[in-house]
Structure 1
Amino acid sequence: DLGSTNGTSVGGAVLVGTATLQPGDVVTFGRCRLELADEGQRGEHNGADPLRRTSIDLVAAAAAADPLPVSLAAAGTLTIVFSDIEQSTRRAVELGDERWMALLGVHNRLVRRHVERSGGVEVKAQGDGFMLAFPSARSAVQCSIEIQRALAAHGRSHPTEALRVRIGMHAGEAIAEDGDLFGRPVVLAARIANQARGGEILVSSLVREIVETRGDLRFGPPREAPLKGLEGTYRLHPILLEGRDAGY
C-alpha cells in the first residue's frame, strides 16, 4: 500500500503489503475503483502489455476522465497559500464602507475564479484575504501569478480601485480537521505571506525547488527573514512578474 493516506483495499479488505490479483478482483483507493478483467474480456489497447492495460492504463484513463479535487478529508501533501490586501484598513477608510465592500467583492470574485480554474480549494476567507490549498506547487504558483496579473489589470483600468495583494506559500503534509487545515506547513505559509510585499508572490525554498525545474519562472534575489513563532531565519524567494504586472 506504500502508506497511502487514502487507503487501498482489495475486495473490501484493507491492503497490507502486497497482494496477487485474480480476474474479477476489485481494488479501491480514494475515489478510484479498478476491476481486473478476464483476458478474454479485454480488447486491443494500443498493443499494451495485458497487465499494464488493466492497471496503469485504467488509472490514467480514470484520472483524465474524472480529475480529483483537493480533498480536505485526506489532506496529505498540499501547497498552502495565504493572501491578504495590503493596507486594507486604510483603503477602507479612504473609500468609505459602501465603495470598499463593492471593491472587496470584486477582489473576492476574481480570486475565486482563478482558484477554481487552477484546481485549488478555498479553505476559508479571512476578511480581506484567503487561505487556499492546491494539489501541486505548480498549480499554486500559476494561480497566484494569474491573480496578481488580473489585479494589476483591474488597477490599470480602475485607478481609484487599485489593490495590492500579498501572497505567500509553502508545501508540506497538512492535517485536515472540520474543513480546515493545520500543521507546520500552514503556519509557515501564513508567516511567509506576512513577509510578502504588496503585489508580490513570496515562496519558501521548498516551493522554489519544486517549480523551478522547468525554467519558465524567474525569481528575484532571496531574502533571509525570521518568521514569527519559529526559530531561526528562513530563505524566502519572490517570483518575478513580467512587464506591467511587475510591482503594480
Structure 2
Amino acid sequence: MIPDGARFCPFCGAPQQDVGDLPTNGADVPADETRRVVTVLFADLVGFTSLSERLDPERVKRLVDDLFERLVADVEAFGGRVDKVLGDAIIALFGAPVAHEDDADRAVRAGLAMQRTVRHFRDEHPADAVRMRVGINTGEVLVGTLAGTDYTAMGDVVNTAARLQEVARPGSVLVGQATRDLCSSAIRFLRTEPVQLRGREQETCAFRAMAVEPVTMSRRWRSDVDLVGRVAEIGILEAALASVRSGRCVVAAVTVEAGIGKSRLVGEVVSDFLIANPETLLLEGACAPYGESNVWWPVAGGLMARLGLDRSAPADESRRRIVRRLGKLGDFEPGTPEFERTVELVMHLLGQPSALDALGPTGLRDAVVAGILSALRRRGERAPVIVWVDDLQWAAPVLLELLDALARQLANLPVLIVTTARSDDVDVAGWPPPVDPALAVHVALDALDRDAAVELVRRAADRELPDDVVDTITRRSGGNPLFLIELARLAASSSDDDVDAGRLPG
C-alpha cells in the first residue's frame, strides 16, 4: 500500500500523481497508465525459420524453450522485465515498472549477456546455427495495462528499438543515441554509419555495444546540468564536514528514492571539500547489484583508483605497482612488516593471489578489517579521510560490518563515512548505527519542489520551452531530477512545431 502523501511509489519509484489530468499530446491518460523514461530491448532470433523447416516441431519447441528460458534469466539478472515474447522475439523493459538510475547500462549489459548465451547455446547444438540481433533504445513511453492487456509499454521508443534490431548484424547489440549517452564509461561502443530505419525519412545515429570493460567503479549518473535546490541538505553535509575538519568522525547516511540525485548531492559537497583540503584521502565506490563478486569492491575500487592500478593486470605486475605506489604515499615505511602486510591486503582486495588466501573465512574477514583500519588510522592521523559508498542497499553484510568498525574505531579522527541508499530498502533500515562518540547524520532527500523543478527543466533543455511544456514535464516527472532532465532534453530535441504545440516525444 502506498503511504498517504507519497510522491513516489516506495516499491517501483513511479510518480504518484493523478496523471489523468496531464496534457499528453492532446489526449487524456487513464489513471492506471503513466509516462516513464524507459530503455527498451528488442531481441530477435535469426535462423529460427530454417530451423523450423528442418527439424521436428517438438524438437524445435524444446530447443527454443530452453534458449528462451536462459535469455529471460539474462534480462531478469540485470533488473529488466520481459514485456512480451512474440514468436522468436523478446521485448524487455528496463525502467518500468521498477526504475533504476542505470537502466540504460543494465539493458546493454543484458543484451551482451544474451548474445553470450546464444553463443554458448550454439556450442551445445553446433548443427543449429541460431543467432540473434538486439536493438536497444531509450525514451519516454506510455506504460500500464493498456486495453485490458498485461502491463506493457507503447510509444515510438518501442518501435525504434525494433527497427534498430532489424538493421543490426546477427550476433550484435545496436543501440540508439539516447541509450549510448546514458551508459557508463564501463561499456565500450563502436559508432556505426548512420542507419536508415524502416518508416523514417532521416538516418538515425547508432552504436554497436562491444564489451563491458573492467574499469574502476565510478559514479553511474553524471550530469552537465548544475545542481538545483538542495540548500538545506547541502548545509547539513557541509556541517558534517566541518566536524570532520575539527577532528571528529562522522557517519552520514543519505537515503532517497530512485533518481532523486543522491550521488550528485554528495559529489557536490565532497568536491568542494577536496578543493579546500587537497591533502584529503578519498576512497569512493559503489555496491553493484550485478556483475561483481568481490564483496570488498566498493572500498577496493576506490583504493585502485587512488593507487592508479589496473584490475586486469597480471599478479606480478600488480604487486610491483602496489609496492612502488604505497611507498610514495609515505604512510608506511617500505620493508617493514606492516608495509608487507598492507601489500598483501591490497593484493587480496583487488582479487589477486596473496598471503591472506591461506586464512579461513573468519580469519580472512578479520585480517581485511584490521588491515583497512590500520591503514586509514595512519592516514587519518595526518589528514582527513572520506570513505564514500554508493547504493548501500546492495552491500554485502561484511561491508556493513567494516563500515561499522571504521566508525567505532576511528571515532576521534577526521574521518567521514558517507553512504547513499534507497529509502525503501529494509536491509539498510538500521544504518547508520549508533556509533558514539562518532556523530551520525541522516539526510533524507525528497523530490524537488515545483520552483526547483521548473529551474532544472529550463537549464537541462538549454532552449526556451513554452510554459505549458515545462508544466507538463514537471507534472510527469513528480520532481524526480533524473526524469526531469531526460524529459527536458527529449522536448528540446523535438521540432519547433511540436514544442510550440505542446507536444512531447513518445
- Normalised TM-score (structure 2): 0.34
Greater than 6 Å deviation, 4+ residue runs: 69-72
Letter in 2 for 1:146: A
Count of equivalent residues: 183
Partner residue, 1:245 = none
Matches within 5 A, 1:64-75: 68=12, 73-75=33-35
Deviations, residues 35-71 of structure 1 (Å, cap 9, x unaligned): xxxxxxxxxxxxxxxxxxxxxxxxxxxxxxx6x3889
Residue equivalent to 1:188: 160
Q: Check the 8 A contact 2:83/2:92 in 1, yes or no.
A: yes
Query: Does residue 55 of structure 2 align to residue 95 of structure 1?
Result: yes
Distance across 2 between alignment mates of 1:203 and 1:70: 25
2:84 to 124, 127, 132: 124
Cα distance change on mapping 1:159 and 1:124 into 2, 3 Å: same
TM-superposed CA distance for 1:206, in Å, is 1.5
| Counterpart-to-counterpart distance in 2, 1:217 and 1:93 | 38
Q: Which has the larger radius of gyration?
A: 2
Counterpart position of 1:207? 179
How far, CA to CA, are the matches of 2:13 and 2:43 in structure 1?
21
The correspondence for 1:225, drawn from 177, 195, 210, is 195
Q: Which has the higher helix share?
A: 2
Structure-2 separation of matches of 1:113 and 1:73: 27
Residues 68-87 of structure 1 aligned to structure 2 (within 5 Å): 68=12, 73-87=33-47
Q: What aligned pairs does 1:54-73 form with structure 2 within 5 A after superposition?
A: 68=12, 73=33
Contact 2:40 2:158 in 1 (8 A): yes
Structure 2 counterparts to residues 1-248 of structure 1, below 5 A: 12=4, 27-32=5-10, 68=12, 73-135=33-95, 136-177=103-144, 178=146, 179-211=151-183, 213-214=184-185, 216-241=186-211
Distance in 1, Cα, partners of 2:133 & 2:14: 23
User: Residue deviations 1:155-194, cap 9 Å, x none?
Assistant: 1232123420110010001012422211111111111111
| Partner SS for 2:82 | strand
Compute the displacement of 1:118 (Å).
Answer: 1.2
- Could you say what the CA RMSD is over the residues aligned between the two structures, in angstroms? 2.4
**Ranges in structure 1 where 5+ consecutive residues have no aligned partner:** 1-8, 13-26, 33-65, 243-248
CA–CA distance in structure 2, aligned partners of residues 232 and 131 of structure 1: 25
Q: Aligned in 2, Cα 1:195/1:175: closer, same or farther, shift over 3 Å?
A: same
Decide whether aligned partners of structure 1 residues 193 and 97 sit closer, same or farther in structure 2, where only a CA change above 3 A counts: same
Asked if 1 retains the 8 angstrom alpha-carbon contact of 2:47 and 2:129, the reply is no
Classify the secondary structure of the residue corresponding to 1:81: strand
Q: Distance in 2 between matches of 1:107 and 1:69?
A: 32
Return the alpha-carbon distance in structure 1 between the equivalents of residues 14 and 83 of structure 2. Answer: 10
Q: Give the TM-score of the pair, scaled to structure 1.
A: 0.67
Mapped to 1, the partners of 2:13 and 2:108 lie a distance apart of 17
1:156–1:241 distance in 2 versus 1, CA, 3 Å: farther
The whole-number CA distance in structure 2 between the counterparts of 1:81 and 1:126 is 13
Residues 47 and 130 of structure 2 are in contact (CA less than 8 Å); yes or no, is this contact kept in structure 1?
no
CA-CA distance at 1:217 after TM superposition: 2.1
Equivalents in 2 of 1:224, 1:189: separation in Å? Answer: 15
Identity percentage of aligned residues: 25
Contact 2:51 2:128 in 1 (8 A): no
